[in-house]
Each structure stands twice: as C-alpha cells, then as structure tokens.
Amino acid sequence: MPTLDLHTHSDQSDGTCSPAEVVRGAARRGVSLLALTDHDTVSGCAEAAAEAERLGIAFVRGVEISTRLDDHLHILGLGVDIGERGLKAALGFALAKREERVRRTVSQLNEAGIEADFAQVRARAKGSLSRAHVADYLRATNRAQTRQDAFRKYLVPGRPGYVAGMGLDVNETIAAIRGAGGAAVLAHPGIVMSVLNLPAWRTAGLGGLEAFYAAHTEEMTRRLLSLAAKYGLFVTAGSDYHGPASGRENSIGVNVSEEDFAGIKKSLSGLAAWNT
C-alpha cells in the first residue's frame, strides 16, 4: 500500500525534530508524498523541501492554521506559496496572537500560585510559540510528567492556565490559504464534529477533509468519506506527527489504497507549490 503524510510538524512549531529530520524519518518509513504543516508558520518549509528533493520524496509546502472557533479547529493549507504577501500577513497576525495567548496563560498560572516564567517558556520555542511549550516548561520544572499531563492539569478548559484561542476565524483562514494558491483542508475533522459546518465552509472555499487520520476509527473514516462525497470535498491523509519526546505515540506515514493515493495526488496536482 502507498504511504503518504500530509500533516506533520517540526521544531519550528511544537514538533521535536528539525524539518530535515522529519523528511529523513518519512523516508525511512517509505513515505512517498509528504507535507510539512507547522502551526501558523512556514519557516521550516524551505529546509524540508531541500531535503525531500535530495531524497526523492514528493513534497508539499504546507501550514496548519489554528482558528479561534475551537481549540482543535485547524485548517491545513497545502501547496501554499510561502512568500505570498497575504499569507505572510495572516501568519504574522496568528503568531502575535499565539504570543499573547501564552503570555496570558503564564500570567494566569502565576495568579493561581503556579510559578511560571514567560522568558523561559519563550526560549523553548525555535519558531511558532504554543501551549505545548508551556507544557514542556511545566514538565521541566516538575509540575507535570508529560506534555499531556501538563495540559490535563493546567491548560484545558476549567484549569487555571486555560486561555481560549485568539487566532483567525475560519473564513479568514480559508481565504488566506486560497489567496496563497493553496488548498484548504480541514484537519482531524473527527475530533471537531461538534462544531462542524461543512456547507458554510465549503462555500467559503474549503477544498478537502483529512479523512484518513491516525486517531480516526474505521467508522469515523467511513463517515468522513461520505461527508466528503456529499459536499464535493477531496480527502487527504495525515499522521499529525510531532516526533519523539512529544508524548504522541503515532509514527509518521499513513497507508492508503492505491485508488485513494491516486485520488489524493490528482487533487493536489494543480498546486504549484510542491516538489514533484
């Protein structure tokens, strides 16, 4: 079965591998089509693209943009022109809001008697700052055992460090991706079913659904394939790989049928911003 992965993260956001290391890991797993989709940044795409070209892997320049609708409502931008002015402006706004969110998170933790230092949290991020870096700080200072433990104790709704998302709205996100020549794909739709609004988002320009996703059950995948067909959306596949020491057990690469692989490649073939 073909192996691809259109949803991966490097240390330019909350992953633990460099962009080149992500590509080398994908090559070891037999991935033949790969995208790097760091959170609200494209800073790792050039390095990853160069390594993919060296190793002969088809590579898609991408990004995962967080929206303020829901903590888990993210839109993948696949095949984007990483230098396009509108996308750069949108990501600049998103990154500024990430900084503000983390500052507020640290402030609330301190108010709750959980000592935290923003400068030390910020120093953990090589690129896009996130709550994962707060979690890593809390783990390093012995307030949690893992990233997931830190989130459960301090950073989810109802906990002292929780601050709601502050980024772009869904329509703005889709517009920024399409303006950069990319395809807008709803990431991990199985975990945002409670806020799903595919008719409206399709009208706004949503192009695809990440139906094949590491955490989706077979039943959920079938349901999403049906929704994709109903709304005229193409499907993609992604692992949401974050690397070792991230606390996520999923490995890079997703296996799909020859038919699905051909369909995904066809859907992406019109995008200019990828290495063939």
What are the tens digits of pLDDT across the range 162-185?
A: 999 999 999 999 999 999 999 999
The answer as to whether 162 is a domain residue is no
Judged against a pLDDT cut of 90, whether residue 220 lies above it is answered with yes
Shared-domain flag, residues 113 and 175: no
Q: Are 204 and 172 in contact (CB under 8 A)?
A: no
The answer as to whether 251 is a domain residue is yes
Shared-domain flag, residues 196 and 59: yes
Shared-domain flag, residues 45 and 138: no
CATH code at 145?
A: 1.10.150
Q: Look up residue 145 and give its two tokens.
A: 């055992």
List Cα–Cα distances, 182 to 174, 206, 253, in angstroms: 9, 10, 22
Burial group, residue 31, by CB count within 10 angstroms (0-12, 13-18, 19+): buried
**Domain limits for position 83:** 3-90+169-275
Question: Considering the chain, what is the average pLDDT of its residues?
Answer: 95
Judged against a pLDDT cut of 90, whether residue 48 lies above it is answered with yes
The answer as to whether 111 is a domain residue is yes
Shared-domain flag, residues 121 and 176: no
The answer as to whether 161 is a domain residue is no
Shared-domain flag, residues 80 and 102: no
Q: Look up residue 210 and give its two tokens.
A: 């990440």
Average pLDDT score over residue span 115-121: 97
Shared-domain flag, residues 84 and 182: yes
Judged against a pLDDT cut of 50, whether residue 235 lies above it is answered with yes
Shared-domain flag, residues 20 and 47: yes
The answer as to whether 185 is a domain residue is yes
Average pLDDT score over residue span 242-246: 83
Average pLDDT score over residue span 207-216: 95
Q: Whole-model pTM?
A: 0.95
Residue 276's pLDDT is: 46
Shared-domain flag, residues 136 and 194: no
- How many separate domains does the chain show? 2
Judged against a pLDDT cut of 60, whether residue 270 lies above it is answered with yes
User: Strand pairing partners for 255?
Assistant: 3
Shared-domain flag, residues 9 and 139: no
CATH code at 81?
A: 3.20.20.140
The answer as to whether 160 is a domain residue is no
Shared-domain flag, residues 254 and 121: no
The answer as to whether 56 is a domain residue is yes
Shared-domain flag, residues 271 and 189: yes
Tell me the C-alpha distance between 13 and 16, whole Å.
9
The answer as to whether 164 is a domain residue is no
Judged against a pLDDT cut of 70, whether residue 272 lies above it is answered with no
Shared-domain flag, residues 10 and 85: yes
Query: Which segments of 63-126 does DSSP mark as H helices, in order?
Result: 85-111, 118-122
Q: Are 23 and 51 in contact (CB under 8 A)?
A: yes
Q: Are 189 and 90 in contact (CB under 8 A)?
A: no
Residue 241's pLDDT is: 96
Judged against a pLDDT cut of 60, whether residue 273 lies above it is answered with no
